[in-house]
Amino acid sequence: MTTVDGLWYLADEAARQATQAYHRTADAYDDDHIEHTYRKRVSRGRFRTLANRIQDSGAPYGAHTLVYRDCGELLLVRHEGVDLWVLPGGGVDGFESFREAAERELEEEAGVDVTYEGLAMLNRVEISCSGCEMWGVLPVFCARAESTETTISDPDGEISAARWYAPDAVPEDTRDREDVIAAARETVV
């Protein structure tokens, strides 16, 4: 690693926090869950931002929820900031647990009542920039919908829609589409 802008130090500290967050989360949710590794190459500024997030919580992109209805449909929200359909979720605030962050974000982005059932996925996100590398966790919880009418109250104004999709009808412009479909099929009984 290089010492450019102290990124090596940020990366090292972030990786330590990610390791702790991974083990804490895996130990807390003993159930079966899917694990994937995603690789991202980012700019120096974005690397610094993500390193700070990982140092704070272990997660560069927060925590998310795979919400399903009894008929097998899953909930996606339209995130205008990335111009994609995504699972509801987002950043960890203060001393929130991953689950608390996922619950809060789901309420803001879709407003559906759910029963949480455990951890669906515990992903690893490997991030690189200018010879520096780090990683963080991306937890995705599983929840069964108790209500299906959506209400968006996103304070950031990033979410423009919340819709239910059958796994075979998940839009092509869904982030990590194949992994979302696979998780829905494996998780939804």
**How far is C-alpha 51 from the geometric centre of its chain's CA atoms?**
16
| Inter-residue contact 58 to 20 (CB < 8 Å) | yes
The pLDDT tens digits for 152-169 are 998 889 999 999 999 999
Q: Which long-range contacts (CB under 8 A, 24 or more apart) does 179-183 make?
A: 179/34, 179/36, 179/121, 180/66, 180/74, 180/76, 180/87, 182/34, 183/34, 183/66, 183/120, 183/121, 183/140
- Average pLDDT over all residues of the chain: 92
Query: How confident is the model over 128-147, as a mean pLDDT?
Result: 94
- Where helices occur in 31-97 by DSSP H, the ranges are 44-57
Q: Give the per-residue pLDDT at 189.
A: 56
**Which residues are paired to 39 by β-bridges?**
126
| DSSP 8-state symbol, 175 | T
Topology of domain 4-187 in CATH is: Nucleoside Triphosphate Pyrophosphohydrolase (3.90.79)
Q: Give the per-residue pLDDT at 58.
A: 96
Q: Which of 70, 71, 128, 63 lies closest to 92, judged by CA?
A: 63
